[in-house]
Structure 1
């Protein structure tokens, strides 16, 4: 495809609707999203789920024709899923329009001469992070819950200087602040796909305790977020909860586990 010039991008940007710009923004933040996820993200704009899917199909097709987004060859649910299973991402032109820094430390965002589809493992994890964001947004539409802020990688990462003078980086998958009535809840989310052993989970959980002990988050933001481990199945959730609450090395209340299904109820509960 011919490279879109800066002037062409400026012209396109002026013609984008709010929904089109919103789709570019979501893909810029999360890298990948399915048609279904994009439709659910914009569900309040439409009367029904089917209407949201139809309109999202039209919008993504238009953005693809403009050269701003494209879908992967693989689909969620295979060919039977139709267009709702398409997995979308920004093109190089879309990245430029969305204002993504080409020096971003995440290599899959860097424009390259040769496009390569991501590995299935990486894609599954990335879409799971997107799904968590969508569930938070859906909950805010259906419950008296407000989304105050969302930080995706690498904006949600935190750093401190160790006792040995080395920079250590804490890397949650996504950071979200919600608000109900007069109180806010701060969340750091870890997406678990069931592939990590208990020792690795404990080790990862301890990195949060280590960061807590340095006090950087408390000094700069006044609070240390709840660490929320999100996994697809109840069996894995129970396993995680046991690891996170019975280890003598981990403080009570810092970590909790949830399935995707349980997530809306959990984030609506007042946290201690």
Structure 2
């Protein structure tokens, strides 16, 4: 829960109640979550997925005041929720969680082997840029997966989630940050290679999403500083297939 910052009731069920029979899962999850909310281990945002008619199924949860005390860390995250976070910020965090949960579910089902996986800030990479300036690359997700054949080859992925709210030049700047980090050789020295960068892109309409994916691909190809082979640009429902097939669709 804590690593994602925000999770819907459905996402918590997938993450923590998957082993329970489907017929009882919803009832048990709702009862446990209600108890945790009552103890202030968890709290919810005022906003609900699906509006007030969705009931507790629409809650967006985060760690509450009591829950925050259970974590051994120098700062209390709950202090950041004195004000309701923006819809754009929460939507992005939930989308990152959705992608992470799809990877976990695929691993549970045996579709892929998930060797390692972290969401931000655990996925971030700190390094020295030009002039020894301290820089931080901030992938939404990092994952390592192993092939199912005898070789057991491990492949690594940086995953970016775009919901259509950022301008293409902003995404291109992020691509340049990946290339700047790759040029340092830090990741290669520590992990034996550099991950492929996956852009999972959607938008308000399928047409706009497809256009944005084309625009980013064209922008990367037109930038002589960027190696196009480093990046993969897909729709969200193509991401698992891409990873399962080792970076090709």
Same fold, TM-score > 0.5, yes or no: yes
Which consecutive aligned stretches of 4+ in structure 1 deviate over 6 angstroms post-superposition? none
Q: 2:48 aligns with which of 75, 91, 100?
A: 75
* Offset from partner CA, 1:166-214 (integer Å, 9 cap, x none): 1111111121222232022211111111122222221110110000001
How do 1:213-228 residues align onto structure 2 when only pairs under 5 Å count? 213-228=183-198
Give the match's secondary structure for 1:75: coil
- Conserved? CA contact 2:6–2:60, under 8 Å: yes
Segments of structure 1 that go 5 or more residues without pairing to the other structure are: 1-26, 104-108
- Conserved? CA contact 1:135–1:263, under 8 Å: no
Under a length normalisation based on structure 2, what TM-score does the superposition of the two structures give? 0.87
Q: In structure 2, do the counterparts of structure 1 residues 67 and 141 end up closer, same or farther at CA, with 3 Å as the change threshold?
A: same
**What is the number of residues matched between the two proteins?**
239
CA distance in 2, matches of 1:244, 1:46: 45
Segments of structure 2 that go 5 or more residues without pairing to the other structure are: none
Q: 2:36 aligns with which of 59, 63, 66?
A: 63
Q: By how many angstroms is 1:43 displaced?
A: 5.4
CA distance in 2, matches of 1:189, 1:169: 16
CA distance in 2, matches of 1:186, 1:113: 32
Q: By how many angstroms is 1:245 displaced?
A: 4.3
The equivalent of 2:74 in structure 1 is 102
The CA RMSD measured in Å over matched residues stands at 2.1
The equivalent of 1:156 in structure 2 is 123
- Conserved? CA contact 1:28–1:98, under 8 Å: no
- Conserved? CA contact 1:159–1:168, under 8 Å: yes
CA distance in 2, matches of 1:161, 1:56: 45
1:194 counterpart = 2:164: yes
1:41 counterpart = 2:9: no
Q: By how many angstroms is 1:112 displaced?
A: 2.6
The equivalent of 1:147 in structure 2 is 114
Under a length normalisation based on structure 1, what TM-score does the superposition of the two structures give? 0.80
The equivalent of 2:199 in structure 1 is 229
Q: By how many angstroms is 1:44 displaced?
A: 3.5
